[in-house]
Structure 1
Amino acid sequence: MQYTLMMQVIASRNYWQLKHLKITAIGTRSESKIKDTCNHLAEFAQSMNIPFSYKIVMVADMLDFNIDLLELDRHEKVAVYSSVSLSNLIVKPNHLEHLMREIRKINPCITIVNEVEANHASLLFVNRFIDALFFYGALFDSMSVCLVDDDLNRKVAESVYYAYSIHNIVAAEGDDRMIRHTGIDVWRAFFCRFGMVENELSGESLNEAKLLIKNFNCGNCCTIRPSGRCFLVAWDGVPIFSVSAWKFI
């Protein structure tokens, strides 16, 4: 959704013309699904009269990733978008740090990070249990409001993804605990180590996000608010995601 919205904004701005939009997807699995998404974006870009191309980079794991695989043009302006990806690498700190070093080599003009806003990395069981209770309780509530009971996507999300996540966060210990979501304050400290500074998201983007929320049948349950320089998305007051913008210095 975020890419189609971006294309709509690009197409609506008459005071400057984009020469070409290229999206590069980096993945370690599900290549066919990534390709389907890219083909859909190509069709949408064509309908918007936006010059567009895409590239898919598949690696066995992030230690195999390097910027040469991107085949960047030195005249390109590069932005990086990461959506709930970095937290998957917390259990593999060497993979995460390698990825950050490669991104730093790119020196993107902006890096947008969308991450889970929760504390599921605590060593104490009781802390993980309480945080998971509120976090996944909010997710289940959002599903019940936004989707009907027999919706296939809802069934898969609840019975497969959420069920596995809850069990892993609460019941697993040590190396078996693969899901270790952490909050924006921890990410701020981590990004600082790589020479990144947080950019304040604009009031215009906040207003656009609030208008988008109004298009969905969620009443006042879903909210978005500033937290420092980032935005927090919450359900019934429980933070679920953070969105932040970063630059290398």
Structure 2
Amino acid sequence: MTPSVRSVEFQRRLPFSQVAQFAGIQTILEHVEGVRRIHVLDLAIRNGHQWTILMQALATRRRSRVEHLKITAVATMGKELIEQTGRRLVMFAQTMNLVCSFNVVMVRDLAELRQDHLQFDSGETVVVLADYVASTLTSPAERLDALIKTIRRVKPCVMVVMEMEGNRNSSVFVNRFVESLFFAGVLFDCIGDCMVGDEATRKYGEETLLGEDDDGAGGGEGREWMIRSLKVDVWRAYFRRFGMVETQLSRSSMYQAELVAEQVPCWSPCTVWMDGKSLIVGWKGTPVKSITAWKFS
């Protein structure tokens, strides 16, 4: 939730977030087609850019115009910054002639989120976006279990999950260190290609954002590291325990991802491909981020 302009610029210059966001939003759009009252539950709102994509798409609907778009941001810190984000999103929606409201739900820990923390109106269709959330709740495992159980109770029509695609969860420090080093090498290669001539933003991202992630994943023996990057197959096995059914991402989602990846010349090494029903975003063939969609049976 840092307000740093460099943080936003760093994310904007890399392809992975934008490519994944467009694919994820396309998936949400397909599940709310014809729905007039939409309630979005965002577990990691950040700067909220992803919802401007949704708003622009909804504003172009010729049929079943949206009566109300509600966005609920769930967070553990940065309430004032999130409220600022909400005001910007509501103002943006007004320029699209969309009726939009924004709510913030603050909890001490995402695992403590309960159904009665959320406000639902009759006739709403709920969708959930979890972008880089699951991997931060795996220690201890009961935290993620509790969050999934709460989400299941609100009965979303779809839950879109985005996670870093890496196996940095070995209990052996040496293995975890090697895996983290390889993954960091891919990201640094991308940074080197996409941030030529912008040393300030590059330095900020390397030291602040990537540094914290790699430190958490590569912690020493006996340390309870908080971020556990896992491959999509592991997430599939985990979510199925809760009766969640993976939904096929459409060709349109794939097309949106490819289209975004082609927009910036330095993003040409960014590749997109299907892994079963999910979408993988990679750099020069190495998986970096996964996008999956889930329904509750």
| TM-score normalised by structure 1 residue count | 0.94
Distance 1:144 1:36 in 2: 32
Distance 2:210 2:56 in 1: 32
Q: By how many angstroms is 1:127 displaced?
A: 2.5
CA change 1:151–1:31 in 2 (3 A) is: farther
Instruction: After superposing the two structures, state which structure 1 stretch, 75-84 or 37-46, moved more.
Output: 37-46
2:91 aligned partner, one-letter code: E
2:112–2:147 CA contact under 8 A, matched in 1: no
Q: Are 1:187 and 2:187 matched, yes or no?
A: no
2:286 equivalent among 219, 238, 246: 238
> Helix, strand or coil: the match of 1:210?
helix
CA change 1:149–1:128 in 2 (3 A) is: farther
CA change 1:173–1:30 in 2 (3 A) is: farther
Q: By how many angstroms is 1:153 displaced?
A: 4.1
Q: By how many angstroms is 1:80 displaced?
A: 0.4
2:139–2:224 CA contact under 8 A, matched in 1: no
The superposition leaves residues 155-184 of structure 1 with CA deviations (integer Å, 9 ceiling, x where unpaired) of 322102212322332242234322211111
Count of matched residue positions in the alignment of Structure 1 and Structure 2: 249
2:172–2:221 CA contact under 8 A, matched in 1: no
CA change 1:99–1:171 in 2 (3 A) is: closer
2:259 aligned partner, one-letter code: L
1:68 equivalent among 103, 108, 116: 116
* Structure 2 partner of 1:213: 261
Distance 2:73 2:200 in 1: 26
Distance 2:87 2:194 in 1: 27
* Structure 2 partner of 1:197: 245
* Structure 1 partner of 2:91: 43
Q: By how many angstroms is 1:201 displaced?
A: 0.4
Distance 1:152 1:60 in 2: 33
**Residues 145-184 of structure 1: matches in 2 within 5 Å?**
145-150=193-198, 152-184=200-232
Q: How many percent of aligned residue pairs carry the same amino acid?
A: 39
| TM-score normalised by structure 2 residue count | 0.79
1:145–1:217 CA contact under 8 A, matched in 2: no
Structure 2 alignment gaps of length 5 or more: 1-48
* Structure 1 partner of 2:74: 26
Q: By how many angstroms is 1:137 displaced?
A: 1.2
* Structure 2 partner of 1:88: 136
Distance 1:39 1:217 in 2: 33
2:112 aligned partner, one-letter code: D
Distance 2:197 2:173 in 1: 31
Distance 2:73 2:199 in 1: 28
2:272–2:282 CA contact under 8 A, matched in 1: yes
CA change 1:166–1:219 in 2 (3 A) is: closer
Distance 1:135 1:66 in 2: 35
CA change 1:92–1:39 in 2 (3 A) is: farther
2:125–2:157 CA contact under 8 A, matched in 1: yes
CA change 1:219–1:72 in 2 (3 A) is: closer
The superposition leaves residues 68-120 of structure 1 with CA deviations (integer Å, 9 ceiling, x where unpaired) of 11111132100000000111001132221111110010110000000111111
1:33 aligned partner, one-letter code: L
Moved over 6 A (4+): none
Distance 1:116 1:201 in 2: 18
2:170 aligned partner, one-letter code: S
> Helix, strand or coil: the match of 1:121?
coil
CA change 1:187–1:166 in 2 (3 A) is: same
* Structure 2 partner of 1:3: 51
1:112–1:245 CA contact under 8 A, matched in 2: yes
CA change 1:152–1:18 in 2 (3 A) is: farther
1:115–1:242 CA contact under 8 A, matched in 2: yes
Where relative contact order (Cα < 8 A, 6+ residues apart) is larger, the structure is: 2
